[in-house]
Chain A
Amino acid sequence: MLLPIALNAQTPRAETKATPDAVASNPAREDPALARLFENRVAPLLRQHCLKCHGQEESLRGGLSLVSREDVLRGGDSGPAVDLKTPGESLLLEAVHYDSFEMPPDGKLKDEEIAIFERWVRSGLPWTPGAERSSRRAEDNGMQERLEAAAHHWAYQPIANSVPPFVDSDRISTPIDAFILRRLHDKGLSLAPEADKATLLRRVYYSVTGLPPSPSDVRTFLADDAPDAWERVVDRLLASPQYGEHWARHWLDLVRFAETNSYERDAAKPFAWRYRDYVIRSFNSDKPYDQFIREQLAGDEIDPRSDDALIATGFYRLGIWDDEPVDREQALYDQLDDIVATTGQVFLGINIGCARCHEHKIDPIPQEDYYRFLAFFNGITPYGIRDAKSVERFSVRPLPSASHKGTTSKDDRVLCVTEVGSRPRPTHVLIRGSAAARGKPVTPGFPQILGGADATLTPAAEGAASCGRRRILADWIASPDNPLTARVIVNRIWQYHFGKGLVRTPSDFGVSSPPPTHPELLDYLAGELIAGGWRLKRIHRMILLSSVYRASSSIDPKAQSIDPSNELFGRFPSRRLEAESIRDSILAVRGDLNLQMGGPSVFTKMPAAVLAGQSRPGSGWGKSPVDQQVRRTIYIHVKRSLVVPIVAAFDGADTDTSCPSRFVSTQPTQALLMLNSDFLQESSRRFAADLRRCVGDNEEALVCAGLWRVLQRPPSRKEVERGLAFLRRMVQQHGVGEARALQYYCLLLLNLNEFVYIH
């Protein structure tokens, strides 16, 4: 008898009719072993590899349905998929063997899987109706359940109107303290006492500017007993241009900033430095964060006459790019995937990229959500096609200001996004992420966990440069109603000040992420950010003026036993400086750091041994004048396949994907670099020479000044004595000349733990 399958039974589709005889003789009804073959072996393969294209009436490929025995026998546009009279010659078997059709299109089945199809077809196509779908429904249900469960996940709830709790303490400096002290007191703990002034000054300099205070900065602050001394330092640092440089570096980690494409040629991205400078400018001018988001995602659509708005869209062009891909169509989707994944992680703290090939395994993100999200970007042109000229054609435009002025200088150009025009490419769900296997068509929409609304599209005018979809996405992300955006950024600010966020996984607020240690504080900060017009300096200030930020890092035995990992922020967590700060500090200490800002990137001297690893040693690495080589690290050219050794050694960000937090590794090769590298040799020599220039030849004065520079505090008598004894031993026991002895002492100073750790 015929068992119609609900999904598609009513729809007449193909002209060919299966013979009643063949249909009648479903061997699964006679032979339980054959029924099991279908249920246990064939059905899972159908579900996994076939039914996404050949399972749903509305989107059948080639008119072929594989959801019932009848449908298989009836076939599609090319005729019956299986002919039981000559089963060995069935189209279906040819297709899985890749003989005529090549199915599944995203990769040939394994030999043993093909053998299962062979056996199934040759046994007369046994079929247990319904079995082909049963666990598919279960999968759907799983996602549905996860979506329902996730509706209660903290991160997807509206930002709560959070009020600082009452705490009876004289340590309440900003509302932040109330939230932190409340939790500490609840656990019977208290906040560590305030750190000493020199420690604090060093901490806040690195936190805000990434640079050490000079000895005179320290002396001034130590002598300043005014009650607002701290506040004035904080405000001065937040207003300094070095703030923007340091915080831009954090942002560049997130947006996988690099100035080359990786792969064989690893060619330079033209004008990528303008994006870097844009970020620095944005932080320094305290640009509202919502505007910062809008500019990067859709600056070209929002304000096409603004240089900065166009430069900001360089965001889309920073990723890796294979100029010689195996499959151009697939490569386009790889580029879009990089954009989808980066956008999701950086702005929203969601790992939507995990749903490219299948439903997200953990978070409630159906595959369709991924492609609906991708559809916002599906008007973007590829970065280029093969050569540099095509990159210029697709990704480089004149600066708006230059075009208005009518200047035609080749230098007045910008790396930016462009679109194919007013009509984007159609977007389909790609089965298993394969560009060749198009499934259901989709339109732009927001993830289901965040409401799942369709984007309201207004068709762009004919001849428009872009379809306008990115602006809709940007507005949705940069909205005070988006529960993730503000939370994610305030958490990052907290993370960069304290070494770890209130949410420990700063780019993943999904259901498997650890919940915030202080959810009310997180919401308070997010609310304050929005209320304050999305200005980040206000949040910095609130953090930096808090007693929590000013607490000592000393470890209290009681706190250690109750809160060993300092989840409650009862003390300030010590941390090692980032690679950039280490290099910048060495330059600052030796006295020749060049604080010039902005412009095209510079090239530092690269050891020949490192260049030797290139297939064309030295290619893509230039030479900058000496005074340019001592600029801050953020201005060094970021070449994906050739990383500056000190940056690589001290855990600089990997630039191929978004880097939400850096590793802190400690390894002997770092010590070798700090002791033996040309850079450190040169640095200790200059350090010594500069000391002598500044303080003369008195050994004690030299030692004292050297210690001041690296420790940024008054050295103890013992520390000075130890230095003097070292110099004496060098000269008297080891026969080293005085100049060389001081150089060795300076090398030692640059290796001190205290120089590279903040407490």
Chain B
Amino acid sequence: MARRLRKRRREFCGRTRRAFLWEAGMGLGGVALASMLYRDGYARSPRDPEASPRTANPLAPKPPHFAPRARQVIFLYMYGGPSHIDTFDYKPAMKGMDGKTVRVKTFGRAGRRNQGRIVETPFRFRRYGESGQWVSEIFPHLATCVDDIAFVKSMTADSPIHGSAMLQMNSGRILSGSPALGSWVNYGLGSENENLPGFVVMLDPRGGPISGAKNWSSGYMPASYQATVLRSRGEPILNLAPPAGMTDAVQRDLLGTLREYNEQHARAHGGDRELAARIASYELAYQMQMSAPEAVDLSQETAATHKLYGTDNPRCRVFARQCLLARRLVERGVRFVQLYSGGAHNDDNWDAHTDIVKNHTLHAGETDQPIAALLKDLKQRGMLDETLVIWGGEFGRQPTAEYAKGTGRDHNAYGFTMWLAGGGIRGGVSYGATDELGSAAVENRCHVKQIHATILHLLGLDPNRLSFPFQGLDQKLVGVEPVEPIRAIMHESHA
């Protein structure tokens, strides 16, 4: 089991939270403050949001449907669509075909085509690990981790356009308006650390992804389930720091006086749980002010750890800090962390429309060492078993060139690769396959929904049962039709 950091932080106005609750409870005429007590395990929170929608703490820990393998998720989102045939999906049959025009159906931002000029991968591939997984030369560090990784090489998605494809990867649907995967996970399981957000997103400093906050929105679910954007430098969370010049003593005095007013008011409206919950939320906010800076304080890490991640390596230090932060967050009970490699537009992310070498060398170089370090670090701390790590983008790329000249590739949703590690995943496995050009998945085709189903399943949630009532339907992340998780990549005991 991972070492979990559950140190008591400084208490609110010198009282423990439980004492505070006790007094608040007594102050309110002894009415049980169910919404807060859930957090302390005194009472079970119903999963049904309709049960008491106005009072239940939406992020209270909830029991899974069955025994989970993973407790938390780190989703390494390679925004823009990394090319599968230049990373993990080796295509020896393409050797020597460079420049040849072949008949192949493709569908990308440039529309549908029936033929194209082959761009042979410019990268060397080798087999790695005891399991002999193929990895391109742009991932020398990650290549040493393949025995912990399951590659799904037959991914398909419904859209080859960034906007809608990203929405599908993040929320299950190509239409705007549904809750993000991280929202679903927090809705299903709650959060284990009330002093930190349960769903955290870290962005590439070059910019957010296309559609911005829609990618981590809680859609039709309450705002409590949307992601909090966490920055790796400066104020980590929006509005976390007290105003300039306000000392801790002043803030505590202010909060204490505020509570006196609020308790007097609550007594006059005896028994109103919402008022009590709002009083408590100020105490929790104060706790968050204390906890979040500690969680992101990388100076607590050893020099060896920094070196492992590459926080001093100019090439990859940004993503290195984010990967290290991701580990610290899951260590502290944050349920779902999503990191974006790549931001903004064009070659600022994996969207290699013009030059595959330049683009992928850059983005792989920025992430290879940090991701490998994350897997190794989680493993050595005994956390990999319960942390599910996912790598992938919204789609892959075509085997043929997009333009008359150059090595750029257009989008490809017919076939691409994602990988998973830890959290009940069987390492050293490749599942499914694309055709010999990598143009489309042909063997054991997997849809994005199955990745979602797999994630939920490993977290102990039945993807076909986890539902949220909205507009007369029990909405599900995986949609109406039942979806099977990809059992072939799970440890047998769990499949």
Report A's interface with B, CB cutoff 8 A: 111, 262-266, 320, 322, 324-326, 334, 341, 345, 351, 353-354, 357-358, 361-363, 507-508, 510, 512, 553-555, 560, 574, 576, 607, 609-610, 612-617, 640-643, 645, 648-649, 651, 654, 656-658, 663-673, 675-677, 681, 718-719, 722, 726, 729-730, 733-734, 736, 740, 744, 747-748, 751-754, 756-757, 759
Contact = CB atoms under 8 A, between A and B. Distances in A.
B13 interface: no
Interface in B328-350: 343-345
Question: Which 5 residue pairs of A and B lie closest in terms of their CB atoms, listed nearest first?
Answer: A656-B177, A351-B472, A264-B163, A671-B285, A668-B284
B207 A670 contact: no
Given A326-B174, A667-B281, A675-B285, A751 B258 contact: yes
B361 interface: no
B282 interface: yes
Contacts of B239: 645, 669, 672-673, 675-677
A263 B164 contact: yes
Contacts, number: 245
Contacts of A656: 175-177, 219-220
Given A264-B210, A615-B207, A670-B281, A730 B253 contact: yes
Interface residues of B, number: 87
18 contacts: A263-B214, A266-B211, A362-B472, A508-B472, A574-B272, A574-B274, A609-B231, A612-B229, A616-B344, A645-B238, A651-B222, A654-B220, A665-B58, A672-B238, A726-B254, A733-B253, A744-B254, A753-B278
Contacts of A665: 58, 222-224
Given A651-B222, A668-B285, A615 B212 contact: yes
Contacts of B245: 740
Contacts of A324: 109, 161, 163-164
B269 A354 contact: no
A263 B269 contact: no
B246 interface: yes
Nearest to A659: B220
B197 interface: yes
A751 B282 CA distance: 10
Given A263-B167, A675-B239, 17 more contacts: A263-B164, A264-B210, A320-B176, A362-B472, A554-B269, A554-B270, A574-B272, A609-B229, A612-B207, A641-B211, A642-B213, A643-B213, A657-B177, A665-B223, A669-B285, A719-B261, A752-B258
Contact of B343 (A615, A666, A668, A726): A615
Contacts of B209: 615
B176 A263 contact: yes
B165 to A, nearest CB: 9
Contacts of B212: 266, 613-615, 641-642
Interface string B266-295: 100111101101110110110111000000
Nearest to B238: A609
Contacts of A730: 250, 253
B250 A736 contact: yes
Given A613-B213, A642-B213, A555 B219 contact: no
A656 B223 CA distance: 14
Interface in B349-398: none
A75 B421 CA distance: 49
Nearest to B220: A654
A642 B270 CA distance: 39
Interface string B233-249: 00101111111011101
Pick the most buried of A554, A612, A642, A671: most chain B CB atoms within 10 A of its CB. Answer: A671
B243 A681 contact: yes
B227 to A, nearest CB: 10
A473 to B, nearest CB: 20
B159 interface: yes
Given A670-B281, A730-B250, A351 B471 contact: yes
Contacts of A265: 163
Contacts of B58: 665, 667
A648 B167 CA distance: 19
B201 to A, nearest CB: 8
A507 B176 CA distance: 21
B473 interface: yes
B260 interface: yes
A217 B412 CA distance: 64
B471 A326 contact: no
A617 B208 CA distance: 8
Given A609-B231, A668-B285, A576 B274 contact: yes
A669 B197 contact: yes
Given A362-B472, A512-B472, A751-B258, A614 B208 contact: yes
Contact of A753 (B158, B229, B265): B265
Contacts of A363: 472
Contacts of A651: 222-223
B271 A320 contact: no
B124 interface: no
Contacts of B277: 666
A257 to B, nearest CB: 14
B285 A617 contact: no
B207 A617 contact: yes
B279 A753 contact: yes
A95 B10 CA distance: 67
B160 interface: yes
B92 interface: no
A266 B242 CA distance: 33
Contacts of A554: 269-270
A538 to B, nearest CB: 30
Nearest to B247: A734
B445 A111 contact: yes
B203 interface: yes
A740 B175 CA distance: 49
Interface in B159-218: 159-164, 167, 174-177, 194, 197, 203, 207-214, 217
A351 B197 CA distance: 34
B240 A676 contact: yes
A676 B160 CA distance: 42
B122 to A, nearest CB: 28
A352 B251 CA distance: 52
Contact of A615 (B175, B226, B344): B344
Contacts of A263: 163-164, 167, 176, 211, 214
A181 B177 CA distance: 42
A555 B270 contact: yes
A263 B210 CA distance: 8
Nearest to A357: B480
A612 B262 CA distance: 36
Contacts of A740: 245
B253 A729 contact: yes
Nearest to B473: A354
B104 to A, nearest CB: 15
B472 A722 contact: no
Contacts of B207: 612, 614-617
Contact of B265 (A264, A508, A752): A752
B257 A748 contact: yes
Contacts of A111: 444-445
Given A325-B164, A752-B261, A672 B176 contact: no
A670 B222 CA distance: 13
A353 B214 contact: no
Contacts of A654: 177, 217, 219-220
A115 B70 CA distance: 34
Nearest to A507: B471
B419 to A, nearest CB: 22
B23 to A, nearest CB: 17
Contact of A334 (B159, B175, B210, B472): B175
Nearest to A553: B269
A657 B271 contact: no
B213 A664 contact: no
Nearest to A608: B238
Given A263-B176, A640-B214, A656-B177, A326 B158 contact: yes
Contacts of B53: 663-664
